[in-house]
Amino acid sequence: MIKVSKSAKSKLQQLMAEEGFNITDDFVRVGVKSGGCSGLSYDLKFDNAIGDNDKLFEDDSVKIAIDKKSFLYLVGTTLEYSGGLNGKGFVFNNPNANRTCGCGESFSL
């Protein structure tokens, strides 16, 4: 399960509307791919098609799709959004990560 903070939900709603997605029907796809300075990096995008290997969750009216492989790395993660002058954007608070890079976009186990 992935949790979505209030600030992340608000920003996701805004970005989905700007890109022509509907938060009630469409979803946020979260995944993990090889790369980044720590070995694995997060992948975040909008989608409207569920695959056979996807798990679908909902938190605070935000639908989240994760492929089964990525789910193992992301279970228990909270997606947050930090804006403002020194804000980083979307941040993954992942309890499974042993090490993260300075930018917060990659991690290792």
Output the tens digit of pLDDT for each of the chain's 109 residues.
899 999 999 999 999 999 999 988 999 999 988 765 557 888 999 999 999 999 999 998 999 999 999 998 899 999 999 887 777 788 888 888 765 655 555 555 5
| Amino acid 12: pLDDT | 95
| Amino acid 37: pLDDT | 58
Instruction: List C-alpha distances in Å: 67 to 6, 17, 43, 61, 85.
Output: 24, 24, 11, 20, 34
**Regarding beta strands 40-47 and 78-82, do their DSSP bridges make them parallel or antiparallel, or are they unpaired?**
unpaired
| Amino acid 55: pLDDT | 94
Instruction: List C-alpha distances in Å: 3 to 20, 39, 92.
Output: 23, 23, 10
